[in-house]
Structure 1
Amino acid sequence: MPIFHIYSASPIIGIGSSAAGLSTYLATLAYHQKHQVKSKKVLSCQVTPSNPSARNLSYKAENILKKQLMLDATQFKGSFCDHPFYRFTITLEIKGLFWAKNTEEVSFDIYDMPDSLLRDIRKFSSSHSFTEYYDDLFSDIGGYFLPIDGTSHREDEVYAKSLEKFTTDLTQRNPQGCPIAFAVTKCDLSELWVNRDDPRGMVQRRFPKMYEILENWTQENKEKVEYFTTSSFGVFGQYCDPNSIIQSKSKEGTLAVIRNPQEWQPFGLIEPLYWLCTGKML
């Protein structure tokens, strides 16, 4: 069985909206050995945490998330490099011609940045004390993963202003372009679940200002933006009930914990990371 290995030499940076659940997303990625992938050509998908920090995420999922608690928010560090980074290997068994099977391995590093970074990116970019920190966001980066809480649509204009500043600076510092995976999270919730198979349409309707910024940017950087829908907790039961218990809701998003750990079936976690590493959709 042929094995194709792809290693993303430059790291991915995760920059999420407040309450987007980036840390929960990564802990769920580390904890589940097998993941769902919508593509019919993928026969199986397994994720392996490949460094101590990533393996510790699996421990947090077992001992915090499964106990219906929330992970602590990622805090700002004195230096960009002080933020935790996680190394993963995704192993896919892919259907080939006739009865053939191919194995593809994709390895990458990803940084988990603070929840408030996207909202405050304009402030940081003009602060002398954050100049080096901000510069590091554009230095030798393989791609950006932007998880956005799907229920934070009332903050669209706020995030769009930051996103416009970010994409403008990205173009100036990296004229060749750098891929951005925009992922709508919390898609187990009923208001998002019904449109989970139309990520581009969901973003266009719920986040029209951010969508416009990204589409204008990608006119100059062809094929550098893609849209995804994800859920760290998934759904369960005959009627696809959200596998989450809402703790609080605000215009910044929804805070929730897992409802039934025994029925924990996340979805959509693999696709954006695979695209960032390979440029291909599953």
Structure 2
Amino acid sequence: MLFDNQTNSTSLSVKTLGGDSVVRIIGDRSSGKTTYLASLAYWPNASPDNPVQTVSPVGEDSEELVNKARDILEQGLLLEPTNLHDIDAVKDYTLSITLKDRFSWLRGSGKMVQINVSCKDYSGEFFRDLVHKSGDPMLDDYLDDCCLATGLMVLVDGTAHRKDKDYCAGIEKLLVELDRAELKNQHRRIAFVLTKCEQSELWVNRHEPKKLANMRFPKLSAQLQSYSKLNRVGVEYFTTSAFGILGKQYPEPNSKRLKRSCDGTTSVIKKPRVWRPFGLVAPIYWLCTGKRHPELDRD
């Protein structure tokens, strides 16, 4: 697949014992996509009650992703954005996610849930390119690839709400391409995932992701809802935080803010020893199974 250095998306192939799904992650530079993937790969300080048993890297590229997460954890470094100049240099990350025994059965399948996630990390501004690069053959190749997916994960920085109109215009073009695609399986799922929900204005509504999405991104949410009704496509809403929070009675973000603008929030980890991400696996599980896992939605 051809790609230029302006398209920011991650392609995933998600497999379970008992069925296969193909998922694409879409997100621009402000979405925290690489930090999301690195935190998922490292899986630090998971709660004993969390359904996820292990997240294991597979292959050299995946080990590199874990090393990136270790840099965040141990040194509090800011991950550099992916700047790709050679398509052959695209990293291919594979992670194997296994649920604990008491949580790991798909209803009616008789199979233990193990999700294998293969991710290709591209650079650029996906929504901007959708709006301003009409007819670009390399972007068209990626749109064609998205159309083959049974599920899409739309990652959006929850603090970038002033870009709601831009995101809406970009997702509209993507949905037009999906509508035009001739697929045997039209039962596609779209997960709208708000990232950086350790920020106070997002954290207070983290357990009401649909309400939060409607409040912060009303145009984008309405676009997805309309498409869902017309095309019988499943849309679900999720909140995530790659860093988590500090404290319970008086919670605060476990992050140090470096920059805040209309493009969103840039932060690094504040206290690595108590780093506990939130909600990273929930959207992947839903895209794969079509069912929400209430334990994965917990803090």
Please state which band the TM-score falls in when normalised by the shorter chain: 0.7 to 0.9
For residue 51 of structure 1, report the CA deviation from its aligned partner: 2.9
Per-residue CA deviation, residues 169-190 of structure 1 (Å, 9 max, x unaligned), is: 1111155153221110111110
Which sits farther off after the overlay, 86-95 or 203-212?
Answer: 86-95
Scaled by the length of structure 1, the TM-score of the pair is: 0.85
Deviations 1:94-133 (A, max 9, x none): 537xxxxx84212232333335112321223422454334
Match of 1:50 among 47, 54, 58: 58
> Any idea what the Cα deviations from partners look like across 1:117-151, whole Å, max 9, x if unmatched?
1232122342245433443332x324222110000
In structure 2, relative to structure 1, the CA distance for the partners of 1:152 and 1:260 (3 Å cut) is: same
Q: Contact between 2:143 and 2:177, CA under 8 Å: does it hold in 1?
A: no
Partners of 1:277 and 1:57 in 2: how far apart? Answer: 22
Q: Which moved more, 1:175-184 or 1:227-236?
A: 175-184
Question: Distance in 2 between the 1:34 and 1:270 partners?
Answer: 15
Residue in structure 2 matched with residue 250 of structure 1 by the alignment: 261
The equivalent residue for 2:3 is: none
Unaligned stretches of 5+ residues in structure 2: 1-14, 104-110, 294-299
Superposition pairs of residues 149-164 of structure 1, within 5 angstroms: 149-164=157-172
Distance 1:177 1:120, change over 3 A: farther
Aligned residue among 29, 36, 44 for 1:25? 36
1:147–1:107 CA distance, 2 compared to 1 (3 A): same
Question: Which residue is 2:290 aligned to?
Answer: 279
Q: Distance in 2 between matches of 1:147 and 1:211?
A: 13
Find the counterpart in structure 2 of residue 74 from structure 1.
82
Q: 1:146 to 1:258 in 2, by over 3 A?
A: same
Q: What secondary structure, in the 3-state scheme, does the structure 2 residue paired with 1:120 have?
A: helix
Q: Distance between the aligned counterparts of 2:196 and 2:94, measured in 1?
A: 24
Mapped partners of 1:129, 1:103: distance in 2: 39
Report matched runs for 1:1-282 at 5 Å. Answer: 5-6=16-17, 9=20, 11-32=22-43, 35=46, 43-76=51-84, 79=87, 83-95=90-102, 103-128=112-137, 130-138=139-147, 140-175=148-183, 176-238=186-248, 239-282=250-293
The runs of 5 or more residues in structure 1 that have no matched partner are 97-101
- How far, CA to CA, are the matches of 2:228 and 2:276 in structure 1? 33
How large is the Cα RMSD of the aligned pairs?
A: 2.6
For residues 260 and 6 of structure 1, the distance between their equivalents in structure 2, rounded to whole angstroms, comes to: 37
Q: Residue type matched to 2:99 in 1?
A: L
Counterpart CA distance in 2 for 1:149 and 1:240 is 20
Q: Which amino acid aligns with 2:38?
A: A
CA distance in 2: counterparts of 1:147 and 1:253, whole angstroms: 12
For residues 47-93 of structure 1, what are the alpha-carbon distances to aligned partners after superposition, in whole Å with 9 as ceiling and x for unaligned?
A: 112232222111111124531211121235565x8633322221112
Amino acid at match of 1:71: L
Greater Cα shift, 230-239 or 84-93: 84-93
Q: Closer, same or farther in 2 for the Cα pair 1:118/1:162, shift >3 Å?
A: same
Distance change >3 Å, CA 240–CA 7, structure 1 → 2: farther
Q: Do the aligned partners of 1:125 and 1:134 also contact (CA within 8 Å) in 2? A: no
Q: How many pairs align?
A: 269
Q: Distance in 2 between matches of 1:128 and 1:85?
A: 22
Distance 2:44 2:228 in 1: 34
Scaled by the length of structure 2, the TM-score of the pair is: 0.81
Partner amino acid, structure 1, of 2:246: F
Matching residue of 1:99:
none
In structure 1, distance between residues paired with 2:270 and 2:261 = 20
Q: Percent identity among equivalent residues?
A: 36
2-structure distance, mates of 1:236, 1:49: 27
